[in-house]
Amino acid sequence: MRIHALPTQLVNQIAAGEVVERPASVVKELVENCFDAGATQIQIDVEQGGVRQIKIRDNGCGIVKEDLSLALSRHATSKISSLQDLEQVVSMGFRGEALPSISSVARLTLISRVADTECAWQVSADGTEQNFDPQPDPHPPGTTVDVRDLFYNTPARRKFLKAEKTEFAHIESLIQKLALARFDVGFLLNHNQREVLNLKPAATRAEQEKRIAAICGSAFVDNAVRIDFAASGLHLHGWVGLPTFSRSQQDMQFFYVNGRLIKDRLVAHAVKQAYQDVLYHGRHPVFVLYLELDPALVDVNAHPTKLEVRFREGRTVHDFLFQALHRSLAEQRPGHTPEMVQTVEIMPENERAEPLMPPSRTPLNLQTSLPMSIGDASLSLNAVAEAVSHAAGDYRRPSSGGSGRIADYYREPRTSPGNVAAQIQSYAKLFPQTETIKASKSHGDQAMPPLGFALAHIHNIYILAETANGIILVDAHAAHERVTYERLKQHYHKRAIVSQPLLLPLKIQVTAAEADLAEQEHEFFMGLGFELNCSGPETVVLRATPALLAKTDVDQLVRDILADMLANGFSHQVEEKINAILATMACHSSVRAKRKLSIEEMNALLRDMEKTERIGQCNHGRPTWVALSHQDLDKFFMRGQ
């Protein structure tokens, strides 16, 4: 067949296939137009799940009469005018395709009035971009778009729609997400002439949290931490749920970039890393987070529906998100303010710590301000073993003729009871900042600490303590495990990586791209303790590994690191492996259940808990302590009722 131009309506219907998947897609495009028009109040009326009618009214700036026909034409917009505008998009929409695409698969009526004009003007469209005849209308200032009979002329598309209840559920969920993006806008959602959602503009923090509670539930607000971090042109703020408040699904995760709701693999990876050793397995964190950065540093034109974005400096954004969330979770400990507000200053290049990646791959380095960098992480095998032996006073040391391996320290505790107080107090020698409160002192002349003072060891498992506001119960093993784990990590990260040569070099088969990457990143692998060289188009040779990972499957680990670096530009596989080993060591060296603790020992543990990061959960994500306030106790016994 000869090449020919497609009819305008068919072109618009093809475009509609990209942006109009279901009624919720229409709502998204139209509400985002309301945002760009400066609306402060938006009303959405839906009939039969949006198939019969979607009517959206706003009080925005409106459209002048002469521009109505252009608004219903492809590639016509007021939001960009040059390539420079496209490279730093600040509006929610910019393609100029939504209205003509929608009108090609539905019956669309557009009514708009600009302030200080005599009346509004109305036009109807069918996707042909012809026969526009504006008619006067008494509409107030603002715009209304009325979409009826969606997919009436494309029955094949209509067959793929779900039940009315399902389609409206998608619309309601979408409005909730958009309402979290713009607290300054009020939303009214009606379905079949029944009010479903009515959200007033939220200016203050209390009003914002009220809106979040209406959408995510009050339990989220009660178990969330408000954070505010800034560094090198990036600003992250919002609410993150405590690890103990998690979900079985990823259904309460809202992330916005410059006010735009997105789902991004890089963001998801950074969040997962931040929660990795505080979240119970199989659970997912909850959050409402807002990232603001220079629009020129993010490409919002990566997907027709604009749900995906591309960051110009992906590694920078990933590291910033990870460190901000990691620190906010680390600081949640008894007696610490629940709100994290941090402005992080980036150190000059010549004052920075050694970066994780080579300088060319690490444009932003937060390690001097934000802790927990694998770049500083290193401890010899024997030094870690020594730290464990100090941390666990009731564990045997290997005999003088022993091999000195880490495995020699994984032994069952002695049958005779050890002195856990001495064990905990021994941390003061390893970590001078640690202090303990002697239980022999009189509590009366001391200010009540956040976790109070121990009263009893219940069933030789749980510590009962009295606090200023009520009582707490502590799982002694879980709490001591977290204390030990965090201190082992601190001790490890202060040392230099010790590499252990392999008796026989190990040949690893990889892809050609991975072999080239191994050659390019030779210094990076040396910094992690790996001596890795390329010996062929698809072969690398491993001659040494980090001493602490000597017993792991280094063959698979190297492959995983190379795969991560090819996909993301970075890898945290080594840090995860090391932390897993330290977590196991902490578990084995912590006080066991059924081991009776004295009052002095329990108080020593409580004081250490108050100084330990991420103390709310053990290394496996289980809670370490719970609190009951005076009010809770009064409710149990119906006091004052």
Give all strands (DSSP E) within 360-412, no chain letters: none
The pLDDT of residue 376 is 30
189-226 pLDDT tens trace: 999 999 999 999 999 999 999 999 999 999 999 888 89
Of 12, 20, 15, the closest CA to residue 170 belongs to 20
| CB atoms inside a 10 Å sphere around CB 144 | 21
Give all strands (DSSP E) within 158-286, no chain letters: 186-191, 194-199, 224-231, 234-241, 253-257, 260-261
Whole-number Å distance between alpha carbons of 214 and 183: 13
The pLDDT of residue 495 is 66
Higher pLDDT, 562 or 441: 562
The pLDDT of residue 2 is 84
The pLDDT of residue 457 is 92
The average confidence (pLDDT) of the chain is 78
Of 465, 467, 466, the closest CA to residue 475 belongs to 465
- Please list the residues that pair with 199 across neighbouring strands: 187
State the average pLDDT over residues 39-43. 96
User: DSSP character for 346?
Assistant: P
Whole-number Å distance between alpha carbons of 541 and 526: 13
The pLDDT of residue 386 is 52
Higher pLDDT, 344 or 140: 140
- In angstroms, how far is CA 494 from the centroid of its own chain? 27
| CB atoms inside a 10 Å sphere around CB 115 | 11
Which residue has 């198939």 as its token pair?
A: 51
Q: 340-343 and 310-311 as β-strands: parallel, antiparallel, unpaired?
A: unpaired
100-136 pLDDT tens trace: 889 889 999 999 999 989 999 999 988 776 778 899 9
Reported confidence tier of residue 496, pLDDT bands at 50, 70, 90:
low
Amino acid at 165: K
Pair 62, 209: CB distance under 8 Å: no
Whole-number Å distance between alpha carbons of 206 and 597: 44
Q: Is the pLDDT of residue 149 over 60?
A: yes
Query: Measured on CA atoms in the order 252, 257, 258, 261, is the torsion positive or negative?
Result: negative
User: Could you tell me the CA-to-CA distances from 580 to 13, 147, 424, 575, 577 in Å, in that order?
Assistant: 53, 55, 22, 8, 5
Long-range contacts of 192-201 (CB under 8 A, 24+ apart): 192/46, 192/47, 192/48, 193/45, 193/47, 196/172, 197/172, 201/40, 201/41
The pLDDT of residue 361 is 28
Whole-number Å distance between alpha carbons of 72 and 112: 13
Higher pLDDT, 551 or 362: 551
State the average pLDDT over residues 519-531. 83
Of 301, 280, 285, 209, the closest CA to residue 241 belongs to 285
* SS3 category, 620: coil
**In this structure, what token pair is assigned to residue 169?**
């559920």
The pLDDT of residue 96 is 67
- In angstroms, how far is CA 566 from the centroid of its own chain? 22
Pair 625, 475: CB distance under 8 Å: yes
The pLDDT of residue 527 is 77
Q: Is the pLDDT of residue 578 over 70?
A: yes
Q: Is the pLDDT of residue 392 over 70?
A: no
235-273 pLDDT tens trace: 999 999 988 888 888 889 999 999 999 888 889 889 988
Higher pLDDT, 361 or 571: 571
- Non-local CB neighbours of 364 within 8 Å, separated by 6+ positions: 231, 232, 313, 315, 316, 319, 320, 346
Which structural domains are found in the chain, ordered by start? 8-199 (3.30.565.10), 217-357 (3.30.230.10), 374-641 (3.30.1540.20)
Q: Is the pLDDT of residue 340 over 50?
A: no
Reported confidence tier of residue 567, pLDDT bands at 50, 70, 90:
confident
Q: Is the pLDDT of residue 341 over 60?
A: no
State the average pLDDT over residues 510-526. 86
Query: Measured on CA atoms in the order 17, 23, 25, 26, is the torsion positive or negative?
Result: positive
The pLDDT of residue 89 is 82
Whole-number Å distance between alpha carbons of 466 and 503: 57
Share of the chain above pLDDT 90, in %: 33
Whole-number Å distance between alpha carbons of 353 and 529: 17
- 315-327: burial string, b at 16+ Cβ within 10 Å, e else: bbbbbbbbbbbbb
Whole-number Å distance between alpha carbons of 79 and 90: 9
Reported confidence tier of residue 343, pLDDT bands at 50, 70, 90:
very low
State the average pLDDT over residues 555-578. 77
Query: Measured on CA atoms in the order 152, 158, 159, 164, is the torsion positive or negative?
Result: negative
294-308 pLDDT tens trace: 998 988 877 666 778
H helices of 276-414, where?
Answer: 314-330, 381-391
The pLDDT of residue 580 is 75
**In this structure, what token pair is assigned to residue 301?**
């034109």
Cα diameter, the chain: 98
- Non-local CB neighbours of 276 within 8 Å, separated by 6+ positions: 576, 579
Reported confidence tier of residue 593, pLDDT bands at 50, 70, 90:
low
The pLDDT of residue 170 is 96
Q: Is the pLDDT of residue 431 over 90?
A: no
